[in-house]
Structure 1
Amino acid sequence: MSGLTIDRERCIGCGRCVKACASSALKLVWEGPRKFAQVGDACVFCGSCVDACPVDAISIAKDGAADAQELASYRGIWVFAQVDAAGHVMDVAFELLGRARQLADERGCTLTALIGEGADGTDENARRLVAAGADEVLVCRDARLARPDAEVFAHWICEMARAFRPEVILYGATAFGRELAPGVAVRLKTGLTADCTVLAMDPETGLLQQTRPAFGGNLMATIVCPAHRPQMATVRPGIFAAPAADETRTGEIRYVTLDASVAPRVRVLDSEPVGTGRSIADAERLVVVGRGIGSKKNLAVARRLADAIGAELGCTRPLVEAGWLEYPHQVGQTGVSVAPKLLVSLGVSGAIQHLAGIGGAQTVIAVNEDAEAPIFGAAHYKVVGDCIQVAEALIDALA
């Protein structure tokens, strides 16, 4: 069992641990002529008190990692297929299936899609998941799954994971996915890497390598979970390209149930859509501008180019911070991840967090005066020059 232990034989009642505890979980109590430190329920096992104790009287015991035989009993990759309010599988699920299919082939294991929907669901969603690459689909139709209740879904996924023991579970980093995945991780006592931009299998260890920007996007960190299963990660929409549907694929559709004892604790009285505007994440063509356009007035040129090619307008974070464009236009790890068929990049240097958000683009045309700009590493066509002059020339050519 995990927990914090205080050795009363060593404790001298100095109170340093109490001062170090940010959760106010420790206090000093008298027992006879001596004072001792005592831990309460607010402890989060951060270890600050362990470091503060001058006599090594405090220790934290953690649950032991699974042994090799236990870890080997987990097999297969799962993708949680979230459905929208209309009951259709969301695009991010297909994007995840495309990458997971490649990982499953490398690993030599089964790829399973997991879908929970209301009692009136049909097999159409399951068939689409098979066509996108799933070998099997676990389907649960239950009125309790008709709305995105993270607690109910977490109970169901944990029940399935304990029964079938997958080695990997992937989730889309939607608002619901970001709420759901941590709840599953806590219940299964495993790890979770959020907002991954790269997923790969280590050929030697078989571990899932989960890569995401770290330290404010200044570097990329690759994270592994060697001692616990399942390995879990969330991936933002638009990071991977969705595969073309193959209607000739065959797969097994298995119907599962949700434990009858699971009951929603939240009752929804009413709901309203956040907005009805078109998101740049849905755009097939996109013109993205960065600080290299020089000034706000040059946005007009970028808009003319976007109109000429039937594209939406996006931007980098500095332009949003400067007030040139609003946040819904921001492309990157801290904005919107996009996967257009065509992306024209004007004056964008290509910071890590921006590149993380355009990884799904099929064709990237980059224009920048700096021949060493990182954006060129992600571009299929590269133009070194003044981005506004190049944009105006393109507009004239398309007129």
Structure 2
Amino acid sequence: MIIGNHADGRLDPAVYELLGSARELNRKLQTDIAVVLIGSGTSAYAASCISHGADTVYVLDQPGLSPLSEEVHTELLHQLVLEAKPEILLLSSTIHSKSIAARLAARLNTGLTADCTELDIDLPSRVLLQIRPAREGALMATICCPEARPQMATVRPGAMSPCEPDPCRTGRIIHPQLQLPSVLRTSILEVIRSREVSGSAASDIIVAAGRGVCSKEGLDLVRELAACLGAELGATRPVIDQGWLDYSRQIGLTGRNVSGRIYIAIGISGAVQHTVGIRRMDTVIAINRDRTAPILGLAAHGIVADLFEAVPLLIDQVRQNITVGR
């Protein structure tokens, strides 16, 4: 069972990544795949979930279920899980979903692994192998819950690949009769959005800055290159900690996982805490003055140079090619 994250009238595309992972797991499990959609306007996404691999979609579509209330969602999901009895329960690793997952796991008296980057099945035990970075990314831990059910995990957005939709797939759409909680201890007074909103987890080109940019002037060069390429701007944690960019730009273990065609890493050493977030990028290009930097071993193309020399040259070349192309 997959819990879809629905907010602002939109379904989080991470649900399709979870469906892609569930279909891979189901090669061993041979069971049904269900998706739960809770919110206002969720009915519109039921058919899409079926085409992406769901056999059953549970739809709770009511105006009063938006904006998302963790207290209400936890109660409704608790009722549904007790009724449907899934072996495995998966959620995306968003702030709200992780909070709901923790509350739900406590009610169900089961285990929960957060921020998984891989999932597998151990047969014949049908135990879910929940794989995630541990010790600040120094190793990958495999966690399992051999006795309690359901087995619960949250999965980092961008860590899994969505499957191609099949418009010919058929499935069941169920509108369960669940009881809303009669007494609420919390109420949502206001929802404040971040003033800076980054691109999606899947971007064609991403230009990212690391500790090696040294200053806001260095970051301005990286930003200029990203603008020339029409690319998304990303960063490692040290840049975010300096307050130079919004947290929504952070890529890596404590940020986002990303996917796309080209990732240009500028002044990034290549610690596993960052590279775990870029494993699904097709091509990595690195600019670093330290020829022993781990990022150069990961990159398809590496430039050993000072970024204050290399990046202006790249910007000039990009601008010339744009001019020629026009």
TM-score range, shorter chain: 0.7 to 0.9
Using a 3 Å threshold, how does the CA distance of structure 1 residues 302 and 216 change in structure 2: closer, same or farther? same
**8 Å Cα contact 2:2-2:19 kept in structure 1:** yes
Partner deviation per Cα, 1:132-157 (whole Å, 9 max, x = no partner): 22122122234553442223222222
Question: Is residue 238 of structure 2 the alignment partner of residue 338 of structure 1?
Answer: no
Aligned-partner residue type, residue 365 of structure 1: I
Contact 2:39–2:68 (8 Å) recurs in 1: no
Q: Find 2:7's aligned residue among 84, 101, 106.
A: 84
The 10-residue stretch of structure 1 (301-310 or 364-373) with the greater mean CA deviation from structure 2: 364-373
Q: Letter of the aligned partner of 2:192 in structure 1?
A: P
Residues 281, 337 of structure 1: 8 Å contact kept: no
Partner of 2:196: 277
The one-letter code sitting in structure 1 at the alignment partner of 2:2 is: V
Tell me how far apart the structure 1 counterparts of residues 100 and 280 of structure 2 sit (CA, whole Å).
Answer: 24
For 2:92 and 2:275, locate their aligned partners in 1 and report how far apart those are by CA, in whole Å: 19
Aligned to 1:250: 170
Relative distance call for 1:131 and 1:341 in structure 2 (3 A) is farther
Does 1:108 pair with 2:27?
A: no
In 2: Cα distance, 1:159 partner to 1:168 partner: 16
SS of equivalent to 1:271: coil
* SS of corresponding position for 2:15: helix
Contact 2:42 2:60 in 1 (8 A): no
1:216-237 deviation line (CA, Å, top 9, x unaligned): 3333222111111111111232
Equivalent residue, structure 2, for 1:156: 76
Aligned counterpart, 1:75: none
Aligned to 2:86: 166
Paired residue total: 317
User: Where do 5+ consecutive residues of structure 1 fail to align?
Assistant: 1-77
Offset of residue 325 of structure 1: 4.0
218-227 vs 268-277, greater mean Cα deviation: 268-277
Q: Which amino acid aligns with 2:272?
A: I
Distance 2:162 2:146 in 1: 29
Change (3 A) 1:375 1:243: farther
Q: Distance in 2 between matches of 1:144 and 1:300?
A: 44
User: Structure 1 residue 323: deviation in Å?
Assistant: 4.9
Larger Rg over CA atoms: 1
1:397 counterpart residue number: 317
| Runs of at least 5 residues in structure 2 that lack an aligned partner in the other structure | 320-326
After superposition, give the CA deviation of every residue in 1:230-260 in whole Å (9 maximum; x if it has no partner).
1111123233343343323222212212136
1:231 aligned partner:
151
Aligned partner letter, 2:28: E
The 8 Å contact of residues 370 and 384 in structure 1, kept in 2 or not, is answered as no
Map residues 291-370 of structure 1 onto 2, 5 A cutoff: 291-293=211-213, 296-369=216-289
State the shift of 1:268 in Å: 3.7
Q: Deviations over 1:182-239 (max 9, x none)?
A: 1110111100011112222234543212122222333322211111111111123233
Distance 1:90 1:231 in 2: 22
- TM-score scaled by structure 2? 0.85
- Which secondary structure state, in structure 2, belongs to the residue aligned with residue 123 of structure 1? helix
CA distance in 1 between counterparts of 2:28 and 2:179 reads 34
Identity %: 37
- Between the aligned partners of 1:103 and 1:283, the Cα distance in structure 2 is 23
What is the CA distance between 1:160 and its match in structure 2? 2.1
Does structure 1 residue 184 correspond to structure 2 residue 104?
A: yes
The equivalent residue for 2:322 is none
Q: Quick check: 1:100–1:111 contact (8 Å CA) kept in 2?
A: yes
Match of 2:19 in 1: 97
**Structure 1 residues 129, 312: closer, same or farther in 2, change over 3 A?**
same
Secondary structure at the counterpart of residue 126 of structure 2 = coil
CA distance in 1, matches of 2:105, 2:159: 22
Aligned counterparts of 2:195 and 2:161: Cα–Cα separation in 1:
24
Query: Structure 2: how far apart are the matches of 1:336 and 1:191?
Result: 24
- Superposition RMSD on alpha carbons, in Å? 2.7
TM-superposed CA distance for 1:278, in Å, is 2.2
Larger RCO (alpha carbons 8 Å, 6+ apart): 2
What is aligned with 2:324? none
1:344 positional shift? 1.3
The answer to whether the 8 Å contact 1:346/1:387 transfers is no
